[in-house]
Amino acid sequence: MPVQNQKKPRLLSLMPFKAIEEDYLNDFKSNFILDELKVSNHDEAVAAIKSYIAESGPYDAFIVLMGTKPYEPFTPEFLAPLLPRCQIVVSASAGYDEFPIDWLTGCGVWFCNTRHSVSEPTADMAMFLTLAVIRDTSRAEKSARAGLWRNDHVPCTDPSGLKLGIIGMGAIGKHHARKAAVFNMHVQYYNRRRLPPEDEITYNVTYCPTLEDLLRTSDVISVSCPLDATTKGLLSHKEFAQMKDGVFIVNTARGAIINEEALIAALESGKVARAGLDVFEDEPRINPYFSKSDRCIIQPHLGGLTQKARRDAEKECLENIKSLFTTGRPVAPVNEIS
């Protein structure tokens, strides 16, 4: 579909595209001018953005692909050189706590995350960690590798019949619920807004009107909500005290949603039997306790990092931009621009 501008919109990507199909990208470039930065850190990115704008003029859109950590923080100062021309910032990640959404909204800039591309792979990781904590797989593997065979690995818990409580029933939570049902787990959820009745039937989930209801009655608790001012430290000492003794914890969302000090205390006391963590508060640095403890199954934030997810996320970024410049509105905006 041709862009409804006489001049092609100019786009700047913080990183080169790596996974998208060449045919798709070539077709997209027939209607847009796309420049790609090749920088390795925050300071290089800031300098390159200013240099590109000075040399070739302003950009209408800014693209941030997967692997943002070296370039953070995305402060207003980082993004300000793109204004006032830039109309939209798109990210290839589902989470968006690293971006100044309120500031972008005040500047009249749309912001879009990827709602679908990384959802199922992240739910796969959540399901993997759910099974891993229930079956105590890391400790068993450690024994086997050490030549101790089963060592003291006594019969473990069976997922069948356990109650899985999902905090945040967006796309990732829904995929996790669907996968957990295959293992005969009973799924309940807590969300800012209750799902429509037809969705609850589709995903076979039960709504908990309060977070405490979910914490008090779940055997496994999985965190799938976004990180923002209302969810930072959502699970802390008070919340762990409300949980069942021997509960299992899974986090594939953002590390800061769980107070790590409180989690460690709960693991040490036995309140939490095991934790499966793909995210950490100060990643890539991992609290040494989680690295060393047999009560923890850890991953280096791999939830959405699959080949298909990377390809689809890159495409989703461009589809948001294409939609804005053809219809006046992106496909999946996080904010609203009047």
**CA gap 316, 297 in Å, rounded:** 31
Please state which of the ranges 12-16, 40-44, 115-119 shows the lowest mean pLDDT: 115-119
Tens of pLDDT along 202-245?
999 999 999 999 999 999 999 999 999 999 999 999 999 999 99
176, 254, 295, 310: which is the annotated catalytic residue? Answer: 254
Neighbours of 56 (CB within 10 A): 12
Strands (E), the chain: 10-13, 33-36, 61-64, 88-91, 110-112, 163-167, 186-190, 205-207, 220-223, 247-251, 272-277, 296-298
pLDDT for residue 336 is more than 80: yes
pLDDT for the residue 4: 42
Contact 248, 275 (CB under 8 A): yes
pLDDT for residue 279 is more than 60: yes
- CB within 8 A of 292, min separation 6: which ones? none
Q: Respond yes or no: is residue 22 known to be catalytic.
A: no
Tens of pLDDT along 313-335?
999 999 999 999 999 999 999 99
Cis previous bond, 84, omega within 30: yes
Strands 272-277 and 33-36: unpaired
pLDDT for the residue 196: 97
Neighbours of 2 (CB within 10 A): 8
pLDDT for residue 293 is more than 50: yes
Confidence band for 95, pLDDT divided at 50, 70 and 90: confident
What's the Cα-to-Cα distance from 80 to each of 34, 40, 66, 125, rounded to whole Å? 20, 20, 21, 36
295, 301, 310, 314: which is the annotated catalytic residue? Answer: 301
Tens of pLDDT along 134-165?
999 999 999 999 999 988 887 889 999 999 99
pLDDT for residue 251 is more than 80: yes
What's the Cα-to-Cα distance from 31 to each of 1, 2, 22, rounded to whole Å? 9, 6, 15
What is 118-298's CATH number, 1.10.20.10, 3.90.650.10, 3.40.50.720, 3.40.50.300? 3.40.50.720
Q: Respond yes or no: is residue 301 known to be catalytic.
A: yes
Neighbours of 58 (CB within 10 A): 14
pLDDT for residue 77 is more than 90: yes
Reduce the DSSP state of residue 164 to 3 states and report it. Answer: strand
Closest C-alpha among 297, 332, 282, 294 to residue 91: 332
Average pLDDT over residues 95-114: 95
Average pLDDT over residues 29-44: 96
Specify the CATH number of the domain 10-116+307-327: 3.40.50.720
**CA gap 335, 34 in Å, rounded:** 24
Let me know if the fold of 10-116+307-327 is the same as that of 118-298: yes
pLDDT for the residue 155: 85
Closest C-alpha among 227, 228, 226, 234 to residue 210: 234
pLDDT for the residue 5: 43
Strands (E), 262-314: 272-277, 296-298
Reduce the DSSP state of residue 46 to 3 states and report it. Answer: helix
Tokens of 311: 């390809």
**CA gap 278, 199 in Å, rounded:** 27
pLDDT for the residue 2: 35
pLDDT for the residue 7: 85
DSSP state of 226: P
Domain ranges of the chain: 10-116+307-327, 118-298
Q: Respond yes or no: is residue 237 known to be catalytic.
A: no
Percentage helix, strand, coil for the chain under 3-state DSSP, each rounded to 5: 40, 15, 45
pLDDT for the residue 85: 96
Mean pLDDT of the chain: 95
135, 261, 283, 311: which is the annotated catalytic residue? Answer: 283
**CA gap 147, 143 in Å, rounded:** 6
